[in-house]
Amino acid sequence: MSRSVHRRRGTPFWRGNVAWLYLAPALLFYLVFVIIPWLNSVWYSLYDWDGIGAATWVGLQNYVTVFTDPEQAASLTHAFGLIVFFSVLPICCGLVIAALVAGDAKGRWGWARALIFLPQVLPLVAVGVAWKSIYSDAGLVNSLLRAVGLDSAARPWLGDFDWAFPAVGFVGAWVGTGLCVVLFSSAIQRIDQSLYEAARLDGAGPVREFFSITIPQLRGEIGVAATVTVIAALASFDIIYVMTLGGPGTSTMVPGVEIYRLAFSYNKVGLASALSVALSLIVYGVVIIINLFARPKDTR
């Protein structure tokens, strides 16, 4: 016993902490390009500063403005609204599609999975440009509506105060569904088939199997999908900026676009920093909540 203790005490420090040596480059990169800039944003958020001239200390006033000014508060509200399109719809559709193609042992539906996943490999800027054209007055959507005699339903979708937000949200749902389908499809293949056999012996049908076996067994994967898609919703920028720039008016304004506009159009660096810090804390809090619910019951 004493020899083993003596050997451990005589071991060089770097041998017992070799893992930290491998992690050091990534941690250094994260510190320099994430932590330090975030702390700078926290510092800037305490000032009224245009990014060039002298800064004036305002304390927490910028944060009060973020949550009380109607325009700033609306951007945060829209970000949470996008969770329905960017996260809830893709996860629900992904679960259903993955369950339907789970029995495709011969790979006949492989092309469908590839087609559904295609938006994930496309740049979001290109996606935004393409859908902006599709939603235009002479675009595909209005052309199809007119072709089937629904001329009254045709409209400038991205210029309509009521329909611009759902139109943009649908694009986010289209992009996110592919990731969810691939993630859930691979997870379903790992589920023990004896669970389904036992359920069938008890008289359970496909719907009962889906809700009683498939969904509970995919708790971890649903948590991963929810984390990724919720972050995409709250931190959305590319699609909104390209398609509507937050318009018409502020009907599709989200924090990412508002931060860009405050900093580079209105030179309100302090207020933009406060909104970015508030958004980062909101994202972090939401991710923690998702992980708590996604954690297996026996580890809570």
In the chain, the DSSP E strands lie at 47-48, 56-57
CB of 113 closer than 8 Å to CB of 181: yes
Q: What is the largest CA-CA distance in the chain?
A: 89
CATH number of the domain bearing residue 233: 1.10.3720.10
Nearest Cα to 248, choosing from 178, 173, 164, 169? 164
47 strand-pairing partners = 57
Please indicate, yes or no, if residue 38 is contained in any of the structural domains. no
pLDDT of 2 = 47
Nearest to 181 by CA among 109, 253, 268, 129: 109
Residue 13's domain comprises 1-33
Q: Is residue 39 part of a domain?
A: no
Q: What is the mean pLDDT of each run of 10 residues along the chain (300 residues)?
A: 50 66 90 94 95 92 94 93 96 92 65 82 92 93 93 92 95 93 89 88 87 91 94 94 93 95 94 95 94 71
User: Do the domain assignments include residue 12?
Assistant: yes
Instruction: Specify whether the CB–CB gap between 66 and 278 falls below 8 A.
Output: yes
Q: Cα separation of 123 and 170, whole Å? A: 17
Is residue 240 domain-resident? yes
Could you tell me the pTM of the whole model? 0.87
Domain count, the chain: 2
